[in-house]
Amino acid sequence: MGQSPQEALVIGIGTVSLAAFILAGICQPLRVGSVWRALLVPLVFLAAYFMAYGKVPSFPPVGAVNKIFYIALFGAVLGLIVDLAGKPCLASLLTALQPVVAALYIGEARLRAAPIEVLGAAAAGFAAMWLLRRDMDVSTGEEGMRRALVLVIAALGFAPIALLGASSASLQLCLIFAFAVLAILVCNLRNDDYAFGTSSYLGGAGGMIAVVYAVTLITRKTDLIALAVLSLIFLVPALSDRLPWVATRKGKVARLVAFALFCAVPALCATAIAILSYGSSFPI
């Protein structure tokens, strides 16, 4: 893909982001339904995985990294089926169960040696998904964009933590995914019907949670303080409406920018903690 990891990363970001922007743009004149458009987020996650790891893992997957792909893929398919069937209660159940099942699936090799670590990761993943989806079934319009922005900035914030956790491929995946979702949002700025559906939660957010599990449970070199600070980003949707400088902005773009800046606070703090923990040898 490139002559160096940096070039490969730039090519990956450019390729997937451009494809995401074009697909999002095509969906509007073709009047593709919101349920189908919600598949764009998990699709770019799967594309980011392919660009980062250079393969589609064989099935059944062996190893935590290979399992990430199928957690996202099956999550996207289940989310699509649930949204097409119009079953919000089932969607709520699946978004509650997926982070727990994913933690047990990825961390199965650690269950006997460190069951508390796996269960703790499952609880944290459940809380993150619940906070991201709280009070929403299928998030549409500006609210859907806010949920997507939380996911974008959380992925950007986790990238240096993943690098600290000895996973440069996860760093690439996070960055490619974040920029590609951002490209989708830019293309939908004038679209009041943007949807962040169940497939987006299960395939996109669920895929990112699986990445966090793999780095945290398998490499076991994650800066847990930085990760805890980053997790505060999932409180932003509930808190932002209480802040006048976010809620009272005129215009959707201004409100989204203010919201993104609010999200960036825990992400930047987590990045600073990761860099300081690594010391002067942090590979910037």
Q: What is the tens place of the pLDDT at every residue in 125-180?
A: 999 998 888 765 445 577 788 889 999 999 999 988 888 766 688 889 999 999 99
User: How far is it, in rounded angstroms, from Cα 135 to Cα 130?
Assistant: 9
Residue 283 lies in a domain: no
Q: How confident is the model at residue 280 (pLDDT cuts 50, 70, 90)?
A: low
Average pLDDT over residues 274-280: 72
Are the CB atoms for 255 and 236 separated by under 8 Å? no
Phi and psi at residue 134, to the nearest 5°: -55, 135
Q: Is the pLDDT of residue 118 over 80?
A: yes
Q: What is the pLDDT of residue 24?
A: 87
Q: What is the pLDDT of residue 244?
A: 67
Q: Please tell me whether residue 196 adopts helix, strand or coil conformation.
A: strand
Buried b or exposed e, range 8-29, using 16+ CB within 10 angstroms: bbeebbeebbebbbebbeebee
State the residue for tokens 């201004």. Answer: 254
Domain count of the fold of the chain: 1
> Looking at the domain assignment, is residue 284 inside a domain?
no
CA 261 to chain centre: 18
- 25 pLDDT above the threshold of 80: yes
> Residue 72 — pLDDT band, cuts 50, 70, 90?
very high
Q: Of the given ranges (14-28, 67-81, 108-122, 137-151), which has the lowest mean pLDDT?
A: 137-151
Q: Is the peptide bond before 5 cis (omega within 30 degrees of 0)?
A: no
Q: How far apart are alpha carbons 7 and 5 in whole angstroms?
A: 5
pTM of the complete model beyond 0.85 = yes
- 209 close to 125: Cβ distance less than 8 angstroms: yes
Residues 270, 230 contacting (CB under 8 angstroms) = yes
| pLDDT at residue 9 tops 90 | no
> Residue 63 sits in which domain range?
5-278
Q: What is the arithmetic mean of pLDDT over 17-40?
A: 86
- Which of 67-103 are b and which e, b meaning 16 or more Cβ less than 10 Å from the residue's Cβ? bbbbbbbebbebbbebbeeeeeeebeebbeebbbebb
CB-count exposure of residue 188 (10 Å: 0-12, 13-18, 19+): buried
